[in-house]
Amino acid sequence: MKPRLGYLGFALLVVAVVVAPSISSHYRTFQLAFVGIYLIALIGLNILTGLTGQISLGHGAFMGVGAYTTTILVVDHGWRDLWTLPVAGLVAGLAGLAFGVPATRFAGPYLALATFAIPLSFIGLLKRFPHFTGGTGGRQLPSLHSQFGIKANSSVWIYWVSWLVALAMLLVAYALVRGRFGRALRSVRDSEIAATANGISTAGIKAIAFGISAFYCGLAGGLFAMAVTFVNPDTFPIDLSILLLVGVVLGGAGSLGGMLFGALFVEFIRITWGPALLDVFSRIHHVDARAAGSSLVVYGVVLLLVLYAAPAGAAGLVRRIVAAASSFKPKRRSAPTVDQT
């Protein structure tokens, strides 16, 4: 992407972010705050999965690490919640790096299976040290309210906090992936042998990508704890890790802008679209939409449909439409190239 137009797109996003709360109810604003939070997590996971080609089924746990860091600092040490965010990111980032160093010995599906251990052991650890984490019963944070003398509805407040962080982290990610470092990431994804031949330490790059992605997820987790005002092991189930990966895939792995779609999906499928779809299904004869687990069936169906219609995710679909609309030369139809942003 040419920088100038990238900045224009970013400026438009900023406008959308500024306008959205004034045309949305407080509840929708609260939901959009979660979209911002998930966007941060997805940008992080995209650096690992989309750009470096390493699949992780465990990044929900790094959100959990960030969330617990924020909670413990606020509740036990009296920190202001906003100041805990960098620490939440750092603690999760270090945890990610610590996991990334040995995990880079695995490749492909083996790595995915290894990462599956992260949320499992995270939940186990939470329950193992109840005096620190609150165990199964979890811990409560203070009610959400605006700070620094700003008088705002709590939903609007968390919306601004989340999106300011999200926009800043989007810029940071853009700066990270467009230069030398980004090329190194992509070269590891596309061919480890070629990357090594060019003097890139593939193991080092993978471990660093792990750390950065975990940092993003930890930051998102800290905001998540502020918004939910409660953490316990059930708040960070294995489903969350899977949902994050689904968000990256649906948004379009490798595309920064696509993560917006992913984040919208992650937030709205669970709370809004899923139940609405279930309502529709329940009108079909002999379908018991109330049956346990039926919501999971809906996610599965949606995922399959999207992957059939748009194998490269939402960003890929947009690319195809743009290519089809702008190109009348028959030979230059949307080649299945991998996005370079």
Count other C-beta atoms under 10 Å from residue 4's C-beta. Answer: 8
State which residue, 196 or 295, has the beta carbon closest to another protein.
295
Cα separation of 65 and 67, whole Å? 5
Residues 22-61 touching another protein, rule: CB under 8 A, are: 23-28, 30-32, 34
d(CA 181, CA 205): 9
Q: Compose the 145-164 pattern: x for residues touching another protein by CB under 8 A, - for all others.
A: ----------x---------
Find the shortest distance in angstroms from Cβ 109 to another protein: 27
Nearer CB in complex with another protein: 275/311: 275
d(CA 306, CA 259): 15
Query: Which string of x and - marks every residue 105-134 that binds another protein (by CB under 8 A)?
Result: ------------------xx--xx-x----
Within 202-241, the residues that bind another protein by CB under 8 A are 224, 227-232, 234-235, 237, 239
Indicate which single residue of 146, 191, 295, 334 sits in contact with another protein (rule: CB under 8 A). Answer: 295
Q: Which is nearer to another protein, 111 or 144 (CB)?
A: 144
User: Residue count at the site for another protein (CB under 8 A)?
Assistant: 71
**Residue type for 326, please?**
S
What are the structure tokens assigned to 293, written together? 């687990």
Q: Which of these ranges, 43-51, 160-168, 190-198, 251-259, lies near another protein under the rule CB under 8 A?
A: 251-259
Span 265-284, contacts to another protein by CB under 8 A: 270-271, 275
Pick the stretch among 103-111, 165-173, 197-205, 285-293 that binds another protein (CB under 8 A).
285-293
